[in-house]
Amino acid sequence: MDHHRQRAHPIPYKLVTITSGFAGYNLGLFILCSIVARGGRFFAVAILLNRYGDAIRAEIERRLGMWVALAAVVLVAGFVVAARLI
């Protein structure tokens, strides 16, 4: 595997928390969304790795940029929906 190539990285969680605080986002709703999003992500990765092993790990690493972009779209959509509910 080539460790020197650029990889897409998700937005750091600390930056998300600070930005949401400055934006005045509802703390309880933020915590709920964080638990669902972060917990869901780790749970989904654990299920995929348990079921498909190294083959899915290679696929995730090969297409990391696409997966990060898709996760960002889902996360932003979740925040938009949550903001409209309050």
The model's confidence at residue 42, banded by pLDDT at 50, 70 and 90, is confident
Residue 51: per-residue pLDDT: 92
| Average pLDDT value over all residues in the chain | 80
Residue 43: per-residue pLDDT: 87
83: region left, alpha or beta (phi > 0 left; psi from -120 to 50 alpha): alpha
Residue 10: per-residue pLDDT: 63
The model's confidence at residue 8, banded by pLDDT at 50, 70 and 90, is low
Task: For residues 20-26, give the mean pLDDT.
Answer: 86
Give the three-class secondary structure for 65: helix
* CA atoms 17, 20, 22, 26: torsion sign: negative
